[in-house]
Every structure is written in C-alpha cells, then in structure tokens.
Amino acid sequence: MTKAEKAEIIIKRLGELYPNPRIPLARRNVFTFLVAVILSAQCTDKRVNEATPELFDLADSPEKMAKLSEAKIRSIIRPCGLAETKAKNIRNMSLILCRDFGGKVPDTFESLESLPGVGHKTASVIMSQAFAVAAFPVDTHIHRLAARWKLSSGKSVGQTEKDLKKIFPKDKWADLHLQMIYFGREHCKAHTCKTPETMCELCKIFRLK
C-alpha cells in the first residue's frame, strides 16, 4: 500500500471518528492559548486545564501576566511540571509581548519562535489553530503513528513533519494534527498495536506486525 493510499484511508477514517476535532486546551484568547500550549510541554492537557483557570483569572493578557511575580506564576502552575522554567518563560514572554509587539501575540513563525519558551511545535500550534495558517505540528503521538504506519522514517519530529506535509493536503493539516493526537491517545497507544490481538483498526488495515 502506498503512502498516498494510506493517507486517503487515514483522512476518511479520522474524519469519521473526529469530524470536528476540538482543541483540548482551555483558553480565553490567543494569549491564554499560547500560555496553555507552553504549559502542556511534558504535561497532560487535563492537568494544564486544571491549573489555568486560577492563572487566567489573575492574568488573561500579557500586561496582567507581566505584573505577576515569577513566584506567583510558579505557585499556580506547579502541578504542570517544570514550573520554574515555565514560570520564567511565561513572565518574560509577557514582558516581551508588551515591549515589542504592542501586547499582541504575533502571527508569524519567526516572531513566535523568538519568544521565551516557544519552539517550532508551539509556534505551529498557534499559527494553525489560532491564526488559521497552514501548519502541521508534530507531537509524540503523531511522531509515533507516522512511524508505525510507515508514513515517515524520520528520526526527529522535524523530519516527520516534513514527510507528513508531503503526504497530506495542506487544507487537512489543522484537523489531522488534532485527529491524530486523539487517535493516538485513544486507539493507537504506545503500548498497543504490537500484536494482531492488540492492533487498532488502522494498524490492521496497514498490516503492521
């Protein structure tokens, strides 16, 4: 089966399972969405969503966040892990947004990736889901599925991203990013699909061993 044939099957089945995939992170605006994505690094969306209401009640804009102390931010986001680094990045990012971007989250990859705590994947999520700019963020779930389904042999998420962009139509990237994450969490988990008895439906179709 060719990659193009697999892509058609994936688009059809994931579209049936998740016709209107929702963003799993709670947010109130683009700024709070960016903060939530930063907090989600090495942390579950559930835990982020449990921590952010208190934070966003205090600060839902760069101006308000910049006025909070790093210690205060850290105390609220501690359950998300890496609290010291994340708190420092969130506060510094807020200061930079106020100073250099008029208190607005920028809508270019270059500007986003210049912010503390914002790497390419985080920038891709914001560009795709907040600004509707074609991007295909690759997380650990997508990286794993791409390898299992032999869509990419990339050793890095960067290579996997390039490979997936070649296979799937650009207008499907935003939905597929979310659909593949949900499918990876719910059906094609890291410890499953290693035997015929535990394979998810797509792994069976692609006849993986």
Kindly state whether residues 11 and 39 are assigned to the same domain: no
Mean model confidence pLDDT for the chain: 95
Kindly state whether residues 179 and 96 are assigned to the same domain: no
Residues 90, 76: Cα–Cα separation, whole Å:
12
pLDDT of residue 154: 78
Single residue among 81, 111, 129 that ends a domain in this structure: 129
pLDDT tens, position by position, 93-126: 999 999 999 999 999 999 999 999 999 999 999 9
Token digits of residue 50? 């449990």
Kindly state whether residues 124 and 142 are assigned to the same domain: no
Kindly state whether residues 34 and 117 are assigned to the same domain: yes
Token digits of residue 9? 């099957």
- Pick from 140, 105, 135: nearest CA to 35: 105
**Contact in structure between 120 and 144 (CB atoms under 8 Å):** no
Kindly state whether residues 125 and 34 are assigned to the same domain: yes
pLDDT tens, position by position, 65-95: 999 999 999 999 999 999 999 999 999 999 9
Q: What CATH number does residue 180 fall under?
A: 1.10.1670.10
Q: What CATH number does residue 93 fall under?
A: 1.10.340.30
Structural domain boundaries, residue 200: 3-21+136-205
Stretch 168-188: mean pLDDT = 97
pLDDT of residue 209: 45
Q: What is the domain count for the chain?
A: 2
CB atoms within 10 A of CB 12: 10
Kindly state whether residues 34 and 118 are assigned to the same domain: yes
Please tell me whether the overall predicted TM-score, pTM, comes out greater than 0.75 for this model. yes
Kindly state whether residues 111 and 160 are assigned to the same domain: no
Kindly state whether residues 56 and 100 are assigned to the same domain: yes
pLDDT of residue 129 exceeding 50, the answer is yes
Kindly state whether residues 81 and 121 are assigned to the same domain: yes
Phi, psi of 29 (to 5 degrees): -165, -175
Kindly state whether residues 15 and 82 are assigned to the same domain: no
pLDDT of residue 22 exceeding 80, the answer is yes
Kindly state whether residues 119 and 188 are assigned to the same domain: no
- Pick from 204, 207, 209, 201: nearest CA to 13: 201
How far the first Cα of the chain sits from its last, in Å, is 15
pLDDT tens, position by position, 30-59: 999 999 999 999 999 999 999 999 999 999
Residues 147, 47: Cα–Cα separation, whole Å:
28
CB atoms within 10 A of CB 73: 23
